[in-house]
Amino acid sequence: MPLLVNNRNLVLIGFMGAGKSTVGAELARLLDYRLIDLDHLITERAGCPIREIFAQEGEGAFRELETATLKTLASLNRCVVATGGGIVGRSENWLAMRRLGPIVYLEVAWTTLNRRVLGDRERPLADQEDGGTRLRNLYESRVPLYRQADLILDCRNDSPRQVAERIVAGLES
Ligand code: S3P
């Protein structure tokens, strides 16, 4: 049964650097949906960048804000929701995401993710000076969670546009 049903939304999940926002923008264009970037909404709500939320209030406070912001989306339709990489850590987030619509995991090779995000100062969990060991462990611990998505899309070396087209094809089949 096709997963792409009128008036629902699409939720993109995946590790930091998987391209959720860029692929999300292409998907929104392709489907004529609105793009909602959850991290962007969180920073608006907090009035400061994510790195500052982590530095001043800690990761726990960020996770509370992330869940609360996700829950505000419940009445939306025809939106592509690009989430942050850690959204998969709480079961209540899964319930909220499943209510929005089909969940798509953007699967990208670890070497690519590592190259894209290690040392990124705007991503507190990637801004580490241990050569990437903790980041790798975080990635490994999350893969089984990401794989609970309705659709797993192996992004290979495709452009964001190509990935978006393959998502639509995957959801329609
Ligand atoms: C996080 C990923 C970030 C952001 C925050 C925490 C994570 O989003 O939500 O820094 O725990 O993986 P991106 O996946 O868009 O980088």
pTM: 0.96
**What b/e string do you get for 97-124 counting C-beta neighbours within 10 Å, with b at 16 or more?**
beebbbbbbbbbeeebbbebbbeeeebb
Whether the predicted pLDDT of 74 surpasses 60: yes
- Residue range 35-58: average pLDDT? 97
Residue of minimum CA distance from atom 12 in ligand 1: 85
**Distances from the Cα of 150 to the Cαs of 2, 118, 144, 165, 173, in angstroms?**
11, 28, 13, 17, 13
Q: What is the pLDDT of residue 22?
A: 97
Give the pLDDT confidence score for residue 172 in this predicted structure: 86
Output 3 or 120, whichever has higher pLDDT.
Answer: 120
Distance 173 CA to ligand 1 centre (A): 30
Residue 1 — very low, low, confident or very high, per pLDDT cuts 50/70/90?
low
Query: How many percent of the chain have pLDDT more than 70?
Result: 97
